[in-house]
Chains A and B, each alone.
Chain A
Amino acid sequence: MEKRIMLGNEAIARGAYEAGVKVSSAYPGTPSTEISEFLAKYDEVYTEWAPNEKVALEVAAGSSIAGVRSMACMKHVGLNVASDPLYTLAYTGVNAGLVIVVADDPGIASSQNEQDTRMIARSAHLPLVEPSDSNEAKEFFKYAFELSERYDTPVIYRTTTKLSHSQSVVDLCERVEVEDKVYERSVPKYVMMPASAIGRHKVVEAREDKMALDAPSFPVNRVEYNDKKIGFITSGVPYQYVKEACPNASVLKLGVINPLPRALIEEFVKEVETVYIFEELEPVIEEQVRAWGLDVKGKELFTKQGEYSANMLRRVLFNEETCAFTKAEAPARPPILCPGCPHRSVFSVLNKLKIHAAGDIGCYTLGAVAPLSVIDTTICMGSSISLLHGMEKAKGKDYIKNWVATIGDSTFLHTGVNSLINMVYNKSTGTVMILDNRTTGMTGHQEHAATGKTLKGEDTYAIDLAELCRSIGVPNVIEINAFDVPGLEEVIKESVKSDTLTVIIAKAPCALLKGQKFPFKCQVDSEKCKKCGMCMKIGCPAMTKNEDGTVKIDETMCNGCGLCKNYCKFGAISQVER
């Protein structure tokens, strides 16, 4: 068997391939993105980017009903968008297997919250499977399809940032082609009108009861008896922390979190003197176990926030420290917009005009921090536009004369367009800026419906954002080069002043897209530099100060965009050919 070191997300994709999956639909979102990118490399699997997670899950559901093994992938907050189909798919069940991969982000490495998908699985009455390393990520994925088909239910497959973005050794297997299931029309099963849904609700309950009874025999729920003084009930990556910190302890490792294997847990608690429930985020396992009257320890010792670690366990249980040195004081290095980023250009103008922005989800959220300090709100995908509209309806049109909404091209197509339809319909006068960098930037450059390429790299139709806005009735749509600073200043000033709903599409490709480097580099003439610091206000990481206070531009980091030149009144900065 070939051994390979694989990212957790690559292993999930491999598991899908080996499981005979034929259709996958997804929207990018850290830490789930790479699953689809790796999956797209297998010719046997149709893989696509959908405009949002709701669409992705519905596509996968359609494929499952048609009779092929299907999946959808998303990050935890993406499941909120997809929760409408999710809760009802629990009722319809599946035809061929349907697995929904959801990547949680304990520790909030790249998200807006730290919600726990296991809670959603419980409330939707769906089984949830959770692996703890790359090899399990692959193997359990195949098992998730077995469960889905055996119990006629969608299965949630939970990963976390640490699993998705860590690599470990995987044993590769062959793909098993699964025969397509025959589709049979069934109104009581697939048409969720009240008469059917009432019937299906009973099926959901009975299924969950049956699974709960069977759960102790699921091979992914595993007991490792060792020293019986101390034991842990755990799952996912926290299992690895337990093995690292307490190699001699007994462990009940759960592979299926919902429903829990009650008999197995009761036996474990009886056998082991002190049992700790070690689970990141919410006390999902703990609350159920306590409700059964079992004596365990959990959240009174371990936090509900952030990622766990072996050291955390050592500290809490044994008061042990592994560190010999004290942590040095070092100035923080938060993430920043890249040199040559077109968002910086737009934000520099908004900052100069003292305009507030209702922001959205993407790299441009970084426009909230100093020195650009433009964005005032970030909630969820697409919310910038609706928030701005709400502000106007609350306080009147004059209140938003120094406000805009800023949203990326991919985010606009995700859920921003619905909010814009609302602005048109309900007669808003606001200004929406689509920061069109021709890609889904933050997650690492994924194609979307306006780029003209599919996930598989094929040419396709590219939605014209300006035409889309016009077609839904936006009266004023302006397209402009994102680096045209004087032009931007003029159109932004005019549109916030006017009482006409305006969409400004600021266009320039992401600086990290292949071949996007400008053929220039920027230089400072230190004789002409007056040390005024105006150019530093754009927050470009390629710019620093010399000892004497004049500005210097790092040649390697500079992308040559020339934005800084716009902010030097003394002509000290020039753009020269590389």
Chain B
Amino acid sequence: MNIMVVGVGGQGTLLTSRIIGKTALQGGYDVKLSEVHGMAQRGGSVVTFVRFDSKVYEPVCEEGTVDVLISFERLEALRYAHFLKPDGTLIVNDTRIDPMTVVIGAKEYPQDILSTLAKSHKIYTIDAGSIAREIGNSKVLNTVVLGASAKHIGFEKEEWLRVLEATVPPKTIEINKKAFELGYEA
């Protein structure tokens, strides 16, 4: 299975991908993940790939091969939607973060991204930011998105929660589990 996680540097996309990778490893698969570090992380567009199968070679997903595309932001969903297979699933955190090109007025933020994408893709949206804020920590936005994506990837809920518990800092286990559940039920 090919999974792609995209978003804006600082949104916590990396942790989400790592949990997907670990869950797949526990499920007995060969797993490869590709991450972005360094300059690109600073508020830029970030991409992570997770691939799992009986044997995986290439650590990235090619355009047109992605089963599940998880986007933490609307514009990033638009930017990378062509990576999806024709019957692939798109999960979008329904939020807008203006890139600097838009802030300084050089470009316009595209209108109606979600309805445009819905014409050609199977799309699920979630407002993870609001859910995270409601439970008192806007930082667990990524875990809410993970919860919402988990049921489209597979594995039992308990397996996800076990990996989540083993991955996040001990102090944040409870709030992360809550965030995952709310995303999963949403």
Contact = CB atoms under 8 A, between A and B. Distances in A.
Contact of A330 (B10, B60, B63, B79): B79
A332 B31 contact: no
Contacts of B133: 556
Interface in B67-122: 75-76, 78-79, 81-86, 97-104, 106-110, 120
A5 interface: yes
A334 B44 contact: yes
A363 to B, nearest CB: 6
B158 interface: no
A370 B106 contact: yes
B53 to A, nearest CB: 11
Say whether chain A's binding surface is mostly helix, strand, loop, or mixed. loop
Contact of B35 (A166, A311, A369): A166
Interface string B16-39: 001001100100001111111111
A170 to B, nearest CB: 11
Contacts of A324: 64, 85-86
A393 to B, nearest CB: 31
A456 B133 CA distance: 36
B172 interface: no
Interface string B148-165: 000000000000000000
Contacts of B76: 333
Contacts of A421: none
B162 to A, nearest CB: 15
B78 A328 contact: yes
A166 B34 contact: yes
Contacts of B63: 311, 322-323, 327
A167 B32 contact: yes
Nearest to A336: B43
Contacts, number: 181
Given A30-B38, A333-B99, A541-B100, A241 B107 contact: no
Contact of B75 (A31, A331, A366): A331
B81 A325 contact: yes
A335 B82 contact: no
Given A165-B36, A324-B85, A363 B42 contact: yes
Interface in A224-273: 237, 240-241, 243-244
A309 B120 contact: no
A29 to B, nearest CB: 9
Given A541-B98, A544-B102, 10 more contacts: A168-B59, A169-B31, A241-B57, A309-B60, A331-B109, A333-B75, A334-B44, A365-B39, A366-B42, A557-B97
16 contacts: A5-B33, A109-B38, A133-B32, A167-B32, A168-B31, A309-B58, A322-B62, A324-B64, A324-B85, A329-B110, A331-B108, A331-B109, A442-B39, A443-B38, A544-B98, A544-B102
Interface of A: 3, 5, 7, 30-31, 33-34, 109-110, 133, 162, 165-169, 237, 240-241, 243-244, 309-311, 321-338, 363, 365-366, 369-371, 442-444, 536, 539, 541, 543-544, 556-557
